[in-house]
Structure 1
Amino acid sequence: MVQPPNDRAFTVGSENADDTVRVAIVDDHESVLLGLKTACREAGYEVVATGLSVAALMAALDGRSVHVVVLDLSLGDGSSITRNVETARETGAAVLVHSIADRTASVREALAAGAAGVIPKSAATSTVIAAIATVAEGGVLNNLEWASAIDADAEFSRARLTARERDVLHLYAAGLPLKLVALNLGIATPTAREYLDRVRAKYVEVGRPAPTKVDLLKRAVEDGILALGEHTGGR
């Protein structure tokens, strides 16, 4: 039996221990689909729906909510990666890319469209299960596959931030409250907020919006402003 990484893998949120992680899976290889479905159920997750395409999945979901959509990028129906990720995200779910690791251009497109992370198909089942738990909790999945996709295209990781904007983003994404960010930089809190607003605006301009703090953490890691593992987990 596949074991989740810890007890939190069974639930989302600390206030409702009965809120089982709900998963949907898209893959046009039935053997992969069946294997993931079985592994998720053995880990204690609820597999709400599966599909050979995103369109098929949406029809199967029929409006039901899920926490994570595990999405294969190499679908044979000619669908757009960006549109598939965006459609999956419309369910309110985090999107976990499950694909062949050497397809960096496809992975990069998925990340730009808002995918929460990427797990290669060569990864152990336990690693996939742990990744589902991470993104279900709203966490950022930072791994070699993500870093490789970003490094493959330098322009993808450029939002043209000023030095002070980078400083504010670094401290805020690392977990400091905005007041402590301002204190550390010797500026007023409203000024720090203005810098943060500018950072968000610049990411929108390059097609990589970051409306939440988790999104800003992702952008900071992608752009080399924050090192992997540097995040303190603060709010």
Structure 2
Amino acid sequence: MTRVALIDDHESVRLGLEAACAREPGMDVVFSGSNVTEYLDWRAFSASSPADVVVLDLTLGDGTTVTENVQRLVADGSSVIIHSVADRPAAVREALSAGAAGVISKASPIDDVTHAIRTVARGEPLNNVEWASAVEGDRDFADAQLSVREREVLRLYAAGLPLKVVADRLGVAYSTAKENITRIRVKYVDVGRPAPTKVDLLRRAMEDGILAEPAADRGGPPRGD
């Protein structure tokens, strides 16, 4: 069962998403409300576990920032999908930098929204037109200035290969490959795009054109070492 929370200050949007999720087998809306604080208060009061996926409006009417909202939800243990009209690419990029798993337009068919929820719930990156549009044209966002060797290590590692196999394939020591991954993570932190997990590294590789398609399309999500 995929547990979903809906956070949007437009009640009509929430009601539409609730109805769509109710039609989906194995999907349960556990919370629907207008802001992140309300959701976290509900979590604390009910002692409920975090939602698997939170569908979050890009801009709420309570004065909070998208960075603040995404970071609070991710720190609480949920994956976040931005549900937005997608006409503010800078704000969408800010949400992605803060840790959102992806963005889906409010103009998208409802089946696309539920598909996005299932994709993110499986731990797979959400690669779609809205995501690509947010990244396109913003090279400060997309460029961590990786070296040729770092890009090659990232390409293989993010595609799902264990680090030892990456080292063997490139003809380097395991310690060298590990140092490359460490430097890659540091560089992404330096440009405001942290990648603490392997799935995060996959997302960064896709954002930077190092991988053209999700690893899941080639046989499943990234494997650990």
Same fold flag (TM > 0.5)? yes
CA RMSD of aligned residues (A): 1.4
- 1:43 matched to 2:28: no
Q: 2:38 aligns with which of 56, 67, 79?
A: 56
Equivalences for residues 1-235 of structure 1 within 5 A: 20-44=1-25, 45-62=27-44, 63-64=47-48, 65-229=50-214, 232=218, 233=220, 234-235=222-223
Using the TM superposition, give the Cα deviation of residue 207 of structure 1 relative to its aligned residue in structure 2, in angstroms: 1.8
**For each residue in 1:141-186, what CA deviation from the matched residue of structure 2 results, as whole angstroms up to 9, or x when unmatched?**
1111111101131100111111111110011111222122112211
Using the TM superposition, give the Cα deviation of residue 61 of structure 1 relative to its aligned residue in structure 2, in angstroms: 2.7
CA contact (8 A) 1:95 1:115 kept: yes
Identity %: 56
The amino acid of 2:67's aligned partner reads T
CA distance in 1 between counterparts of 2:148 and 2:134 reads 25
Q: What's the secondary structure of 2:123's corresponding residue?
A: coil
Using the TM superposition, give the Cα deviation of residue 228 of structure 1 relative to its aligned residue in structure 2, in angstroms: 2.3
Q: Which TM-score applies when normalising by structure 2?
A: 0.91
CA distance in 1 between counterparts of 2:169 and 2:96 reads 31
Question: Using a 3 Å threshold, how does the CA distance of structure 1 residues 215 and 108 change in structure 2: closer, same or farther?
Answer: same
CA contact (8 A) 2:166 2:177 kept: yes
**For each residue in 1:68-124, what CA deviation from the matched residue of structure 2 results, as whole angstroms up to 9, or x when unmatched?**
000001222221110010111122010011001222111100000000011000111
CA distance in 1 between counterparts of 2:75 and 2:19 reads 25
Moved more, 24-33 or 200-209: 200-209
CA contact (8 A) 1:85 1:113 kept: yes
CA distance in 2 between counterparts of 1:90 and 1:172 reads 25
Q: What's the secondary structure of 2:4's corresponding residue?
A: strand
Question: Using a 3 Å threshold, how does the CA distance of structure 1 residues 136 and 230 change in structure 2: closer, same or farther?
Answer: closer
The amino acid of 2:15's aligned partner reads L
The amino acid of 2:38's aligned partner reads A
Using the TM superposition, give the Cα deviation of residue 191 of structure 1 relative to its aligned residue in structure 2, in angstroms: 1.0
CA distance in 2 between counterparts of 1:144 and 1:178 reads 31
Structure 1 unmatched runs, 5+: 1-19
CA contact (8 A) 2:150 2:181 kept: yes
CA contact (8 A) 2:158 2:215 kept: no
The amino acid of 2:22's aligned partner reads R
Q: Which TM-score applies when normalising by structure 1?
A: 0.87
CA distance in 2 between counterparts of 1:208 and 1:166 reads 16
